[in-house]
Amino acid sequence: MPKPGDSCDSPGSVALQYDQPANLRFDDTIPGYACTQHSWVLDQYSQGLTDCHFVLDYEIDFYGMDTSYIGQVSYYEAFKHCESVDCVGLVCRKGGSDGIPSRCWLKHDTHLTQNERERSTHSNSVFWYASCKSP
C-alpha cells in the first residue's frame, strides 16, 4: 500500500490515506488510500506541506457544491474514482439499517477552504477532505 506522498499509477498523482468510519467494522482488505492530482494538493506539496491525508468527519455535506455523483457504492469503492476526477473530498450518505454509506459524491473543483458557502450539516453523512501539513 502506498504511503501518503507516494506516487500513484498516473504520473503526478499522489496517494492520500483515509480512515475507515468508526461505526463500521475494521476491514484490512480496504486499500485505505486514494490517488489524486488535484491542484490544491499539488500546491500544498510545492509549499513543502507533504504530509497529506483525507481527514474523516461526520454529519457534514456538500449540498450543491462542485461534486460528481458516484452512485450507490461503498465509500472505498467511491474513493477508487478519486483519481479520474482529481478529487479533494468525498461525502457519502448512510443507507440501510447497517449504517454503511451507500450514496457517494466526490468533491473535485475547490477545496473547502476555498468555498464561499458554509458547510452544511446532514445527520446521515460521512465526509473526508484533503489536509496537508509539514512532515
pLDDT digits (tens, 9 = 90+) for 68-123: 778 788 888 889 889 888 899 888 887 655 555 578 888 887 666 555 555 556 66
> Where do the structural domains in the chain lie, given as residue ranges?
14-133
Identify each DSSP E strand in the chain by its residue range.
14-18, 33-36, 51-61, 67-71, 89-94, 101-107, 120-133
- Give the global pTM: 0.80
Gap between the Cα atoms of 65 and 43, Å rounded = 21
Gap between the Cα atoms of 66 and 101, Å rounded = 20
Query: Residue 43: is its pLDDT beyond 90?
Result: yes
Residue 106's pLDDT is 85
* Cα 36 from chain centroid (whole Å): 10
Which cell numbers hold the place of 117?
458557502
Mean pLDDT of the chain: 79
Residue 4's pLDDT is 46
Residue 105's pLDDT is 83
